[in-house]
């Protein structure tokens, strides 16, 4: 299958899923250039249960963040000098003690920035949730903050409400990142 036909197939599946959701969620139906050619399985009735929806969404979001987290932690671990680990082994430290008393404190800055970035990115999850909602999930029961802002602003034309929730997300991000920024300031002054 060439690149163009793969794009067409993906576009057709996305269109059919959105069109099917439109027919079942009270959204206006838009005619498809691929009428009658929707692949089976474009609509997933299992997503009608919020628990199933959030389980699948969690799997997708975690799967998307694993490479960044793994590479960042690996890069932090490679910066720990071998001499320190060797000295700990000579002093009789076991693997658990080396992990708890040497590796974690030395990799803590990397772990904290990765955690902060993951929290910020997870507050901004939109596309994955929207695509799953278009596959059959009830929008009102499965909105996260980004999707709720979108529904308010675009769906309901409530721009003031969307702006208020956006400011809330900004303040939440600032509050969650404040401890990391404070620790950076302490390290810089020391």
Report domain extents, the chain.
49-189
Say what the pTM is. 0.65
pLDDT tens per residue, range 12-66: 455 455 444 444 444 444 333 433 444 444 567 777 788 888 998 999 999 999 9
Tokens at residue 150, please? 């979108």
Burial of residue 109, with CB atoms counted within 10 A of its CB: 0-12 exposed, 13-18 middle, 19 or more buried: middle
Q: Which fold has domain 49-189?
A: MetI-like fold (1.10.3720)
User: CA 50 to CA 143: how far, in whole Å?
Assistant: 10
Let me know the angle formed at the C-alpha of 40 by 39 and 42, rounded to the nearest 5 degrees: 80
Q: Is 142 in contact with 54 (CB distance < 8 Å)?
A: yes
What is the tens place of the pLDDT at every residue in 108-162?
989 989 999 998 888 888 888 888 888 888 888 888 888 999 999 998 999 999 9
Phi–psi pair at 77, nearest 5 degrees: -70, -30
């Amino acid at each position: 299958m060439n690149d163009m036909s793969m794009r067409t197939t993906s576009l057709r599946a996305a269109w059919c899923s959105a069109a099917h959701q439109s027919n079942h969620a009270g959204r206006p139906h838009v005619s498809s250039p691929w009428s009658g050619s929707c692949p089976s399985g474009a609509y997933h009735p299992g997503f009608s249960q919020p628990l199933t929806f959030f389980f699948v969404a969690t799997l997708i979001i975690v799967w998307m963040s694993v490479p960044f987290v793994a590479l960042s932690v690996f890069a932090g671990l490679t910066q720990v000098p071998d001499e320190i680990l060797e000295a700990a082994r000579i002093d009789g430290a076991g693997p658990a003690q080396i992990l708890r008393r040497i590796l974690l404190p030395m990799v803590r800055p990397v772990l904290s920035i990765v955690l902060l970035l993951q929290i910020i990115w997870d507050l901004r999850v939109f596309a994955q949730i929207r695509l799953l909602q278009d596959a059959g999930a009830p929008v009102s029961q499965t909105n996260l903050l980004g999707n709720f802002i979108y529904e308010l602003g675009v769906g309901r034309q409530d721009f003031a409400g969307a702006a208020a929730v956006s400011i809330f997300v900004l303040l939440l991000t600032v509050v969650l990142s404040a401890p990391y920024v404070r620790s950076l300031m302490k390290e810089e002054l020391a």
